């Protein structure tokens, strides 16, 4: 099977908030679709090892913040590249709460969907949650962030590897004579001052 075929699927980028009792968390996900219109329901898939997944299973509610294209990488990194088990990602952040008391993002956000879990299925690596939308609020007219746009325009590019320097000549440290070529013969003798190869240094081009 060619797994690259799956790369042709389109995804969004969302902040997924969850709550169970006094415990709250939020993470980044790329899986959220509307699956029914009456009643209005959406489906999300969450990695089973995620703390957010545990909270949704326990609390039965979640909020999907549909992020826009202007969201900075640092925001995505904060919520998506560390675990709520290790750090309180909400500490010091003025995140409001929806009708279910679930945190959501009110900046760089197109809309917020507040949901109550009505069904779930363990898919192996992920759990699929079906949520009935109990409230929906439009935040802005900005275009939503897609996973493709994140990869091409937001995610930092790796630093270019420095070009390897190539030896183009050898220079005599005594008299300055230059031997053209990438390799200096081990028995080479400088024709100007008579010193051997040990007194030559490489010249890079």
Q: Look up the pTM and report it.
A: 0.76
- The pLDDT, as a whole number, for residue 174 is 84
Q: Which residues, listed in sequence order, are joined to residue 135 by a DSSP beta bridge?
A: 114
Q: CA–CA separation, 114 vs 92, rounded Å?
A: 23
Question: Do 140 and 200 sit in the same domain of this protein?
Answer: no
- The pLDDT, as a whole number, for residue 78 is 95
Q: How many Å separate Cα 121 from the centre of its chain?
A: 26
Question: Do 197 and 135 sit in the same domain of this protein?
Answer: no
154, 178, 196 — which closes off a domain?
154
Question: Do 196 and 117 sit in the same domain of this protein?
Answer: no
Per-residue confidence in pLDDT tens, the chain, 205 aa: 888 888 788 899 999 999 999 999 999 999 999 999 999 999 999 999 999 999 999 999 999 999 999 999 999 999 999 999 999 999 998 899 999 999 999 999 999 999 999 999 999 999 999 999 999 999 999 999 999 999 999 999 887 777 778 999 999 888 889 999 999 999 999 888 888 999 889 998 7
- The pLDDT, as a whole number, for residue 12 is 94
Q: CA–CA separation, 120 vs 46, rounded Å?
A: 11
Range of the domain at 128: 10-154
- The pLDDT, as a whole number, for residue 2 is 86
Number of domains in the chain: 2
Distances (CA, A) of 37 to 33, 49, 63: 11, 30, 18
Cβ atoms 67, 145 nearer than 8 A: yes
- The CATH number covering residue 181 comes to 2.20.28.10
Question: Do 177 and 148 sit in the same domain of this protein?
Answer: no
111 within a domain of the structure (yes/no): yes
């Amino acid at each position: 099977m060619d797994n690259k075929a799956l790369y042709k699927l389109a995804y969004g980028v969302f902040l997924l908030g969850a709550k169970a009792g006094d415990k709250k968390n939020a993470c980044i996900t790329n899986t959220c679709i509307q699956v029914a219109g009456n009643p209005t329901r959406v489906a999300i898939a969450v990695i089973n090892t995620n703390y957010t997944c545990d909270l949704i299973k326990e609390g039965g509610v979640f909020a999907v913040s549909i992020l826009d294209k202007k969201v900075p990488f640092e925001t995505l990194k904060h919520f998506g590249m560390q675990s709520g088990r290790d750090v309180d990602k909400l500490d010091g952040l003025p995140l409001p709460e929806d009708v279910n008391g679930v945190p959501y993002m009110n900046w760089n956000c197109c809309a917020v969907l507040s949901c109550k879990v009505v069904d779930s299925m363990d898919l192996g690596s992920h759990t699929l949650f079906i949520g009935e939308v109990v409230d929906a609020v439009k935040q802005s007219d900005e275009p939503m962030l897609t996973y493709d746009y994140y990869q091409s325009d937001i995610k930092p590019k790796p630093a270019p590897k420095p070009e390897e320097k190539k030896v183009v000549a050898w220079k005599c440290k005594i008299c300055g004579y230059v031997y053209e070529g990438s390799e200096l013969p081990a028995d080479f003798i400088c024709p100007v001052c008579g010193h051997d190869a040990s007194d030559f240094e490489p010249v890079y081009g």
